[in-house]
A and B are shown apart, each in its own frame.
Chain A
Amino acid sequence: EVQLVQSGSEVKKAGESLKISCKASGYWFTRYWIGWVRQMPGKGLEYMGIIYPDDSDTRYSPSFQGHVTISADTSINTAYLQWNSLKASDSAIYYCVRKSGYFHSDFDSWGRGTQVIVSS
């Protein structure tokens, strides 16, 4: 069974850095694209980007390019989403997601989400 287990909720201040994680299990980690989706309070879903752990090929949505960093550690089957300087507008739930195949495909597995609260 595919599982994506995300790190717990975070409360941070604007300007601080943050790295949240997503530990994958139940499949060959290096052979599937894995990424992140944002959901701001009361709003819809936004694709942030994906990484192919086998070669670290990373594709960002233009909306998030330069604002976050997506990475993966194949030794512990874990993907990360990182901010160097948080803003209040980064407050949201962040879902870890796995692509079912090629990078045009659907997200067939979702983590439970990590809530990030950033105070100004």
Chain B
Amino acid sequence: QSVLIQPPSTSGTPGQRVTISCSGSSSNIGGFTLHWYQQLPGTAPKVLIYGRNQRPSGVPDRFSGSKSGTSASLAISGLQSEDEGDYYCAAWDDSLNAYVFGTGTKVTVV
């Protein structure tokens, strides 16, 4: 059972803005950088947000991350059909001495 909790699903229409929350604790989100990963259907995950809300080259600026205390969120603005997939937050956890992934959120474009 993951220590980073995300909503199981969210949906939006094309062009809409959606946000995904990630709730943790002082031993993970509260003390370390938070990362976001995108997994499109049938493919390997890839990193979306790393460091201090940085995006790797090729990731559109429609994706943005924020963190406050022991919680974080990923915002997708201008939602597109190709954004459909699963999104995971992740961080190092000092209590577990392990990297932990969130429970994952399925994004559907309706």
Contact = CB atoms under 8 A, between A and B. Distances in A.
Interface string A12-48: 0000000000000000000000000100000011110
Does more than half of chain B's interface fall in helix, strand or loop, or is it mixed? strand
B47 interface: yes
Contacts of A47: 90, 98-101
20 contacts: A37-B101, A44-B86, A44-B101, A44-B103, A45-B39, A45-B90, A45-B101, A45-B104, A47-B100, A47-B101, A63-B98, A95-B44, A104-B33, A104-B99, A106-B47, A106-B50, A106-B51, A108-B47, A108-B50, A111-B44
Q: How large is the interface on B (under 10, 10 to 19, 20 to 34, 35 or more residues)?
A: 20 to 34
Interface residues of A, number: 23
Contacts of B63: none
B54 to A, nearest CB: 10
Interface of B: 2, 32-33, 35, 37, 39, 44-47, 50-51, 56, 86, 88, 90, 92, 96-104
